[in-house]
């Protein structure tokens, strides 16, 4: 008897302790009331170690800048793979509830996907009061959750513009197209004059680029009504316009449809097969690395517009730093994420060699040094300045699906395939819509038109 | 009594030797298999969580045309690639064994070296050579004014992959066959020589028939390898993105179901179906090999 009651006591005590621990562990996640400034200051002055997963190379420099202000917080940086490999580890962590970092890099396009599986913490209570002013407007709408949470800190972005070969344009008497109509006419003119040169290449394996162009044209494919109810409109007027436009151009043969991100494609830029690249703000530097033989011949301009006189763009790519809900040090993690992406001592590193990211922080975008940069590859043009003003024209209210990997894969199998085979791109867009709706319903969502 | 004790002692010592293997076997093979099997009876959704669904995933897999299309594709790949590869391996093994060529050790290493190249690297390298505009073969065709071969066209993509796989594994199979030949007793060769057989005759009538078990071993390895084709086509996604897609091979399909569509349960079911097919094909190959042998014995 004695033994049993003792056993009960021990078990009871450890159970209670466990429950207390459990509730303590959940505290940061449930924090309804924001910690006071003093509490945050105290947290930042307590020796803490946080883990940070990112594939941005050399980010130790930013961590150093952070530690100059917060020496008590130790940041362990880990590169667990780029893109897919990195996300898989996040998913595994989410599934097992173990092994997650405190802060992780998450691209804008995957924020709703990871929010859906409950990975991201709401850091609104921990970030500074003027958080929203620190970043470009449209990026704030990207990191804001359906309930007004702040789910991540914008790091870098990819507002879309047009890089073009000045020499080829001059040679064939083409002026920089201001509208998509002018662009199509120029494409036909150029390819007729020299069948080996294309005004641009429309890659059948780059859903992100298509998405950015459709974003410009006004598509709003996913509108969340609630956590489990979405309005899905992948073939709305904006997307349909873009699909028809590029379908026609590719079918006519005036624009090539080579797959991107392989040697042949890189060589195409280097050998003058493609006269423009419709790309994001991170594109200029990437191109300078791949098409060295054409240095000095390129220039940057905004995207052509659907209506003359308009000035709208879309975004392709870019990342954030997100705090994990499972983190036990959410305050330190959130302050760190905000600091490296907005403090000038850190963003000046982000936006210059060798990282060369196009920053999301407004202070970094307006910094003299950043705007004054005149790369030789673009014949001394202030390319950053061009993209900084494009950045202000990115439409604000675009949102992503809660299962973006699947959407991109379906895009590849429908729209991408139609582009590569010169098929009916408009019909393919309808198939994309149908397949994604089917998937959403199978996953338990309700879909409203 | 004593002898019985001895016997049990002996048995337990044997068990002792096997335990290290058994532990790792259970942890890394049996446990994941059992867990996958368990998972395959559930369905987890993004909204609504996980629920037991019985055999639904298997029923879905049996009716899944994309799964069967992938299976058919790797079946075709097996029929196209394996005979060629094994024939080449056999020829190389016989040539090197004949001692008729110079630097035979060097040649042996040269043929084997591709096996040491990681499949990812091999595919990148071949992908570069295959490039439709600026690849080596395309440039050669341009130089010679012959039509360019479109390695990533609808019909050529599978042969292009088969070529890479053959390049990678011909040396591996050659080494197995060569090692087998080295194990044969040379008395028969001498006897045949005395009877006036040339080296061709010796190769065909003495070496090849004895090589049968080794060839059979290579064949079984190849069945498994072919049906699990994954690395090469995955690495070629950016080269032929609309021909090689997420359902190109059953393994790619299972991977995509798990990690793109987030349907780990269905992926588990597809993997088990694939395992079953590989098992059945292996048995089929074994039975056919036995039949062939018995038939020949009967003829003699």
pLDDT of residue A285: 92
CB < 8 Å to B131, chain A: 262-264, 267
CA distance A440 to A431: 14
pLDDT of residue B299: 60
pLDDT of residue A5: 43
Angle subtended at Cα A376 by Cα A373 and Cα A382, rounded to the nearest 5 degrees: 35
- Give domain status of residue B51, yes or no: no
B282-285, long-range: CB < 8 A, 24+ apart: B282/B220, B282/B223, B282/B224, B285/B216, B285/B219, B285/B220, B285/B223
Average pLDDT over residues A359-372: 94
Helix, strand, coil percent values for chain B (each to nearest 5): 75, 5, 20
* Residue found by looking up tokens 């690495």 in the block: B235
The pLDDT-based confidence of A96 (bands split at 50, 70, 90) is confident
Phi/psi for A138 (5° steps) reads -70, -25
pLDDT of residue B11: 75
* Residue found by looking up tokens 């991201």 in the block: A120
pTM equals: 0.87
Express each pLDDT in A179-235 by its tens digit: 999 999 999 999 999 999 999 999 999 999 999 999 999 999 999 998 899 999 999
CA distance A186 to A163: 15
Express each pLDDT in B73-90 by its tens digit: 999 999 999 999 999 999
pLDDT of residue B8: 66
Q: Assess whether pLDDT exceeds 70 at residue B5.
A: no
Which of A206, A205, A190, A204 lies closest to A254, judged by CA? A190
Average pLDDT over residues A72-81: 96
Q: Residue B238: which of A259, A419, A442 has the nearest Cβ?
A: A259
Element (H, E) at B121: helix B119-130
Answer for the pair B215, B180: CB distance below 8 angstroms, yes or no.
no
CB < 8 Å to A445, chain B: 46-47
- Give domain status of residue B229, yes or no: yes
CB < 8 Å to A405, chain B: 259-262
CB pair distance less than 8 Å for B47 and A262: no
Element (H, E) at B139: helix B136-144
User: What 8-state DSSP symbol labels residue A31?
Assistant: -
- Give domain status of residue B93, yes or no: yes
Count of the separate structural domains present in chain B: 1
Q: Assess whether pLDDT exceeds 50 at residue A321.
A: yes
From its phi and psi, is residue A51 left (phi > 0), alpha (psi between -120 and 50) or beta? Answer: beta
Local structure of A377: helix, strand or coil: helix
pLDDT of residue B24: 94
Answer for the pair B191, B107: CB distance below 8 angstroms, yes or no.
no
Task: Return the residue of B nearest to A445 by Cα.
Answer: B47
Q: Assess whether pLDDT exceeds 70 at residue A10.
A: no
Which of B26, B53, B74 lies closest to B268, judged by CA? B53
User: What 8-state DSSP symbol labels residue A396?
Assistant: S
Q: What percent of chain A has pLDDT over 90?
A: 86
Beta strands in chain B (DSSP E): 42-45, 49-52
Q: Are strands B49-52 and B42-45 parallel, antiparallel or unpaired?
A: antiparallel
Average pLDDT over residues A118-143: 95
Q: Assess whether pLDDT exceeds 80 at residue A20.
A: no
Range with the lowest mean pLDDT among A145-154, A185-194, B5-14? B5-14
CA distance B183 to A315: 66
Phi/psi for B98 (5° steps) reads -65, -20
pLDDT of residue A17: 41
CA distance A143 to A125: 15
- Please report the sign of the dihedral spanned by the C-alpha atoms of residue A160, residue A161, residue A165, residue A169: positive
Express each pLDDT in B106-165 by its tens digit: 999 999 999 999 999 999 999 999 998 889 999 999 999 999 999 999 899 999 999 999
Average pLDDT over residues A385-410: 95
A100 min Cα distance to partner chain B (Å): 18
pLDDT of residue A29: 44
| C-alpha distance from residue A114 to each of A53, A109, A326, B165 (Å) | 15, 10, 13, 37
Which B residues, 54 through 83, put their C-beta within 8 Å of a C-beta on chain A? Answer: none
Q: Assess whether pLDDT exceeds 90 at residue B291.
A: no
Express each pLDDT in A228-287 by its tens digit: 999 999 999 999 999 999 999 999 999 999 999 999 999 999 999 999 999 999 999 999
Local structure of A397: helix, strand or coil: coil
Residue B201 contacts A where some CB pair is shorter than 8 Å: no
| C-alpha distance from residue A346 to each of A58, A66, A338, B70, B267 (Å) | 12, 7, 10, 49, 43
Domain range for B287 is 63-299
User: What 8-state DSSP symbol labels residue A135?
Assistant: B
- Give domain status of residue B166, yes or no: yes
B65 min Cα distance to partner chain A (Å): 15
Q: What percent of chain B has pLDDT over 70?
A: 96
Residue B200 contacts A where some CB pair is shorter than 8 Å: no
pLDDT of residue A408: 95
- Give domain status of residue B181, yes or no: yes
- Please report the sign of the dihedral spanned by the C-alpha atoms of residue A375, residue A377, residue A379, residue A381: negative
pLDDT of residue A314: 97
From its phi and psi, is residue A124 left (phi > 0), alpha (psi between -120 and 50) or beta? Answer: alpha
What is the CATH number for B121? 1.10.3720.10
Tell me what ipTM this predicted complex has.
0.84
Cβ neighbors of A201 (< 8 A, separation 6 or more) are A255, A256, A257, A258, A260, A265, A268, A273, A274, A277
Beta strands in B217-267 (DSSP E): none
Residue to mutate among A197, A263, A290, with most B CBs inside 10 A, is A263
Average pLDDT over residues A107-129: 96
pLDDT of residue B238: 86
Which A residues, 194 through 233, put their C-beta within 8 Å of a C-beta on chain B? Answer: 204-205, 227-228
Q: Assess whether pLDDT exceeds 50 at residue A33.
A: yes
- Give domain status of residue B47, yes or no: no
Residue A402 contacts B where some CB pair is shorter than 8 Å: yes
User: A190 vs A36, which has greater pLDDT?
Assistant: A190
User: A5 vs A363, which has greater pLDDT?
Assistant: A363
CA distance A433 to A235: 6
pLDDT of residue A305: 98
User: A402 vs A3, which has greater pLDDT?
Assistant: A402
Average pLDDT over residues B23-28: 94
Residue A182 contacts B where some CB pair is shorter than 8 Å: no
CA distance A251 to A243: 12
A82 min Cα distance to partner chain B (Å): 15
Cα within 13 Å of Cα(B54), Cβ side: 2
pLDDT of residue B100: 79
- Give domain status of residue B184, yes or no: yes
Answer for the pair A202, A191: CB distance below 8 angstroms, yes or no.
no
Express each pLDDT in B167-212 by its tens digit: 999 999 999 999 999 999 888 888 998 998 888 888 888 999 999 9
Residue B208, judged by CB atoms within 10 A of its CB (0-12, 13-18, 19+), counts as: middle
- Give domain status of residue B89, yes or no: yes
């Amino acid at each position: 008897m004695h033994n049993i009651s003792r056993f009960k006591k021990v078990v009871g005590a450890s159970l209670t302790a466990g429950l207390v621990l459990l509730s303590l562990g959940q505290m940061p996640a449930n924090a309804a009331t924001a910690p006071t400034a003093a509490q945050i200051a105290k947290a930042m002055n307590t020796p803490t170690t946080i883990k940070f997963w990112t594939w941005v190379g050399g980010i130790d420099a930013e961590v150093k800048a952070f530690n100059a202000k917060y020496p008590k917080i130790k940041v362990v940086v880990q590169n667990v793979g780029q893109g897919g490999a990195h996300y898989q580890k996040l998913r595994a962590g989410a599934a097992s509830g173990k092994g997650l970092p405190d802060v992780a890099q998450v691209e804008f396009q995957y924020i709703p996907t990871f929010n859906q599986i409950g990975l991201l913490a709401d850091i609104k209570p921990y970030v500074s009061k003027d958080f929203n002013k620190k970043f470009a407007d449209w990026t704030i709408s990207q990191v804001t959750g359906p309930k007004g949470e702040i789910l991540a800190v914008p790091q870098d972005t990819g507002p879309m513009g047009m890089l073009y070969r000045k020499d080829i344009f001059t040679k064939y008497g083409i002026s920089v197209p201001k509208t998509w109509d002018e662009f199509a006419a120029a494409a036909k003119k150029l390819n007729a004059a020299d069948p080996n040169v294309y005004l641009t290449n429309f890659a059948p394996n780059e859903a992100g680029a298509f998405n950015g162009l459709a974003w410009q044209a006004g598509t709003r494919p996913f509108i969340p009504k609630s956590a489990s109810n979405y309005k899905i409109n992948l073939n709305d007027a904006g997307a349909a316009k873009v699909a028809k436009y590029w379908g026609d151009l590719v079918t006519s043969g005036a624009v090539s449809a080579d797959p991107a991100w392989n040697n042949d494609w890189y060589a195409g830029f280097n050998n003058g097969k493609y006269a423009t690249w419709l790309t994001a703000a991170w594109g200029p530097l990437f191109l300078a690395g791949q098409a060295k033989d054409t240095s000095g011949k390129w220039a940057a301009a905004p995207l052509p517009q659907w209506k003359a006189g308009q000035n709208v763009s879309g975004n392709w790519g870019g990342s954030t730093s997100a705090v994990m809900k499972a983190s036990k040090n959410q305050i330190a993690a959130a302050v760190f994420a905000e600091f490296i992406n907005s403090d000038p001592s850190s963003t000046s590193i982000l936006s210059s060699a060798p990282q060369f990211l196009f920053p999301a922080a407004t202070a970094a975008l307006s910094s003299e040094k950043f705007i004054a940069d005149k790369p030789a590859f673009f014949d001394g043009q202030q390319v950053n300045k061009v993209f900084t003003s494009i950045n202000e024209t990115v439409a604000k209210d675009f949102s992503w699906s809660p299962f973006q990997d699947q959407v991109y894969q379906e895009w590849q199998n429908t729209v991408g395939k139609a582009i590569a085979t010169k098929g009916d791109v408009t019909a393919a867009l309808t198939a994309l819509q149908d397949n994604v709706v089917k998937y959403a319903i199978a996953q338990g969502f309700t879909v409203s038109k | 009594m004593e002898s019985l004790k001895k016997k049990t002692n002996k048995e337990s010592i044997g068990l002792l030797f096997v335990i290290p293997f058994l532990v790792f076997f259970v942890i890394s093979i049996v446990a994941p298999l059992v867990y996958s099997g368990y998972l395959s009876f559930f369905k987890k959704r993004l909204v609504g969580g996980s629920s037991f669904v019985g055999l639904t995933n298997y029923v879905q897999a049996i009716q899944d045309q994309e799964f069967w299309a992938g299976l058919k594709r790797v079946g075709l790949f097996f029929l196209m690639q394996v005979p060629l590869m094994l024939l080449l391996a056999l020829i190389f093994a016989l040539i090197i064994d004949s001692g008729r060529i110079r630097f035979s050790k060097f040649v042996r290493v040269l043929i084997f070296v591709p096996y040491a190249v990681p499949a990812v690297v091999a595919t990148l390298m071949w992908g570069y050579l295959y490039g439709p505009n600026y690849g080596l073969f395309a440039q050669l065709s341009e130089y010679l004014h012959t039509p360019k071969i479109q390695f990533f066209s609808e019909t050529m993509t599978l042969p292009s992959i088969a070529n890479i796989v053959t390049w990678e594994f011909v040396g591996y199979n050659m080494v197995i066959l060569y090692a087998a030949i080295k194990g044969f007793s040379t008395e028969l060769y001498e006897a045949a020589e005395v009877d006036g057989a040339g080296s061709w005759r010796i190769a065909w009538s003495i070496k090849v028939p004895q090589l049968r078990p080794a060839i059979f071993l290579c064949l079984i390895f190849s069945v498994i390898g072919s049906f699990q084709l994954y690395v090469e086509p995955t690495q070629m996604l950016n080269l032929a993105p609309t021909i090689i897609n997420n359902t190109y091979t059953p393994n790619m399909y299972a991977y995509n179901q798990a990690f793109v569509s987030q349907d780990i349960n269905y992926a588990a079911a597809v993997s088990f179906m694939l395992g079953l097919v590989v098992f059945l094909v292996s048995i089929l190959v074994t039975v056919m090999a036995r039949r062939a042998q018995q038939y020949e014995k009967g003829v003699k």
